[in-house]
């Protein structure tokens, strides 16, 4: 959003106003840019590349032995140039560069700095986004201009990691609404409304939750903790709505991926994350290392708790609540999602005479080897729930080894054929499908890159130990809605791919 704000600025004053509000810039950096008498276009270019220089690539951070040091170095240099520190404090803060463990980081900061400076450091760690989102660093200024133009076709922006727990709560446990405020400001500035992801999500659970015993006391503590967090999200949105006489957030995902992502080695293959320990009790000690089974908040919360949290939100804010799940193009998984999540919530709605589910989300991250007849079967089953549903994260990962073609041209054609068939299904079920959200924007800004690179990283660890040549990391993957140059892909006519 910051880069889109830069490329869309209409004059120098607007560019200044926007960039001086961005936490990734220091005042000195911006003063050095704007001291010149350059044209608006030159200043926008300077700001754009200066912003990208504040970022570290995802691959570098996670796959380079010293990536975390570079990340910490960027944070520390920012802190040192934005707050007055004594010589002793400057020396101490440099020691943070080599501390990777979060618990040790928190202890070190609290022990060596005053409360005021400690809180500033923790706030910067949350507000200053040092690690790029997928493909940002290699995406050109021109492509961001094209993206902004494409954005004008749409009314709603889906914002990930904006109102989530780790986007709202600092390492020392305080609430910081900077990211959410920035997203709402951006949406208002550009005439959009927001869809926000996600309040309760197993991957967005603090690690300390797994150190708690599973008992009623800790259940009550976690429930109240989640209520406090959601109250902060709701209060921030309400205040913005009142101040600006608007309704900026249209939808928020209440519960995301409550089932295990991939089939498990137990009879039903899929289960609520809160029940997986009953099927696989030996996994309890390895939850943090196996996110397919990690329960997250559902280690303590049950479906009735989720319902009550949704009811509490609805009592305060006029907003649609969504229950979202991945790989529902598997009819078997969808049946379990309906039986273990949707039906129990509908029963609670009847008992309390209060509806909370406004939408069901099916992510539809799919590969071309998933038959479209399975997608159609899932659309049919979702349509029978009498709740509108959305495709929340649509993209297609094209695996050349699965489609028996090799050239880029043939892969493009194959994808076009597949997308065309999916779109036909969307049209067929258009009375039930509320919204389709495009997830991977283009082949560079494709979230699958990081997933594939993590797999390559694990392979390279093995290859390194055995003196084998390491595999190169990917920089783009054919699968975005647009191609690498932000050109819309050509989707084929009724006769499809010939």
Provide the CA 243 distance to its chain's centre, in angstroms. Answer: 27
Tokens encoding 175: 């609430």
Return the minimum-mean-pLDDT range out of 24-33, 83-92, 99-108. Answer: 99-108
DSSP 3-state helix, strand, coil percentages of the chain (rounded to 5)?
A: 55, 10, 35
Residue 480: burial class (beta carbons within 10 Å; 0-12, 13-18, 19+) = buried
Q: Got the DSSP string for 18-37?
A: HHTT-TTS-HHHHHHHHTS-
Is a pLDDT exceeding 60 seen at residue 470? yes
Tell me the C-alpha distance between 43 and 29, whole Å. 12
**pLDDT-based confidence at residue 416 (cuts at 50, 70, 90):** confident
0.75 cut: is pTM over it? yes
Report DSSP state, residue 95: G
Is a pLDDT exceeding 60 seen at residue 495? no
Predicted confidence (pLDDT) per residue in 451-460, tens digit: 777 778 788 8
Residues of the chain above pLDDT 70, percent? 91
State the residue for tokens 């979230």: 447
Is a pLDDT exceeding 70 seen at residue 288? no
Return the CATH architecture of domain 141-465. Answer: Alpha-Beta Barrel (3.20)
Contact 415, 492 (CB under 8 A): no
Task: Give the number of other CB atoms < 10 A from CB of residue 373.
Answer: 12
Is a pLDDT exceeding 50 seen at residue 498? no
- Residues in contact with 250: Cβ distance below 8 Å, sequence separation at least 6, in sequence order: 156, 193, 194, 195, 319, 320
Contact 129, 74 (CB under 8 A): no
Predicted confidence (pLDDT) per residue in 236-278, tens digit: 999 999 999 999 999 999 999 999 999 988 888 999 999 987 8
- Residues in contact with 396: Cβ distance below 8 Å, sequence separation at least 6, in sequence order: 366, 367, 368, 415, 418, 419, 422, 479
Name the residue ranges covered by the structural domains of the chain. Answer: 2-127, 141-465
Tell me the C-alpha distance between 436 and 36, whole Å. 44
Tokens encoding 134: 């997928």
Q: What is the mean pLDDT of residues 71-76?
A: 79
E strands present in 70-205: 156-159, 193-196, 200-201
């Amino acid at each position: 959003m910051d880069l889109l704000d830069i490329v869309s600025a209409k004059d120098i004053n607007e560019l200044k106003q926007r960039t001086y509000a961005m936490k990734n810039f220091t005042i000195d950096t911006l003063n050095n840019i704007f001291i010149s008498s350059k044209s608006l276009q030159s200043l926008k270019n300077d700001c754009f590349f200066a912003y990208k220089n504040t970022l570290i690539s995802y691959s570098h951070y996670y796959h380079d032995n010293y990536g975390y040091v570079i990340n910490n170095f960027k944070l520390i240099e920012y802190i040192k140039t934005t707050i007055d520190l004594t010589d002793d404090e400057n020396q101490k803060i440099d020691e943070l560069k080599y501390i990777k463990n979060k618990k040790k980081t928190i202890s070190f900061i609290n022990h060596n700095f005053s409360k005021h400076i400690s809180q500033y450091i923790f706030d910067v760690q949350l507000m200053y986004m040092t690690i790029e989102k997928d493909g940002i660093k290699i995406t050109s200024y021109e492509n961001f201009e094209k993206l902004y133009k494409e954005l004008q076709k749409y009314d709603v922006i889906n914002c990930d990691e904006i109102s989530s727990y780790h986007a709202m709560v600092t390492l020392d446990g305080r609430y910081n609404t900077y990211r959410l405020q920035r997203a709402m400001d951006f949406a208002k500035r550009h005439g959009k409304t927001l869809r926000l992801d996600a309040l309760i999500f197993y991957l967005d659970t603090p690690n300390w939750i797994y150190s708690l015993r599973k008992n009623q006391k800790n259940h009550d503590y976690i429930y109240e903790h989640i209520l406090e967090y959601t109250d902060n999200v709701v209060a921030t949105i309400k205040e913005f709505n009142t101040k600006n006489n608007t309704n900026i957030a249209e939808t928020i995902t209440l519960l995301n991926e409550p089932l295990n992502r991939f089939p498990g080695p137990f009879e039903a293959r899929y289960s609520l994350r809160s029940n997986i320990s009953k099927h696989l009790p030996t996994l309890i000690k390895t939850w943090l290392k196996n996110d397919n089974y990690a329960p997250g908040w559902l280690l303590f919360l049950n479906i009735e708790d989720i319902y009550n949290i949704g009811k509490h939100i609805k009592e305060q804010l006029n907003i649609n609540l969504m229950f979202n799940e991945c790989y529902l193009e598997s009819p078997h998984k969808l049946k379990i999602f309906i039986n273990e999540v949707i039906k129990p919530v509908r029963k609670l709605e009847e008992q309390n005479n209060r509806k909370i589910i406004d939408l069901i989300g099916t992510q539809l991250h799919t590969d071309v080897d998933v038959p479209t007849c399975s997608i159609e079967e899932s659309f049919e089953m979702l349509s029978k729930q009498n709740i509108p549903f959305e495709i929340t994260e649509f993209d297609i990962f094209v695996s050349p080894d699965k489609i028996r073609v090799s050239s880029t041209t043939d892969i493009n054609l194959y994808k076009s054929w597949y997308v065309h068939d999916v779109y036909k299904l969307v049209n067929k079920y258009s009375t039930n499908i509320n919204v389709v959200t495009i997830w991977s924007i283009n082949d560079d800004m494709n979230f699958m890159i990081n997933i594939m690179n993590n797999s390559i990283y694990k392979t390279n660890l093995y290859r390194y130990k055995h003196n084998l040549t390491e595999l190169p990391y990917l920089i783009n993957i054919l699968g975005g809605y647009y191609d690498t140059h932000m050109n819309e892909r050509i989707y084929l006519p009724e006769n499809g791919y010939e």
